Amino acid sequence: MFSSLSGYHALPSYLNVMNNLILRSKISDPKTAEKFGISTYSHPFTLNSDLLSQQSLEQRISDFGIAITVLCAYAFVPAAVILYLVREYITQEKRLIFICGVKPLGKKFFFAKN
């Protein structure tokens, strides 16, 4: 295996060696294990000062803002739903409505309204 062990190539080279070790350990015959292997071609993208312009920096900041917004949406929307379900479980609101005689169709409209 020929490899440049600089920072850009170290991780893919290490993963390739580990995956080859796992692959060859699963083969029962040690003579045929040498025939099998995984090849990795690493062509990293290095940034220099020309590629990291003001527009690129603004794009990265914008992408980060969008990612944070999506992360908040995935965090707070399920939390709000769980909060409603826990409150309903504690107060037993649905059971109280059923005991008071509200019909099932009316119950669906009541919960859809809330």
pTM comes to 0.37
Tokens of 12: 């893919």
- In whole angstroms, give the CA distance from residue 33 to residue 24: 5
Nearest to 97 by CA among 81, 111, 83, 86: 111
Q: What is the mean pLDDT of the chain?
A: 79
| pLDDT tens, residue by residue, 44-74 | 776 666 666 766 778 888 999 999 999 988 8
- In whole angstroms, give the CA distance from residue 110 to residue 89: 16
| pLDDT tens, residue by residue, 80-103 | 888 888 888 888 877 877 787 766
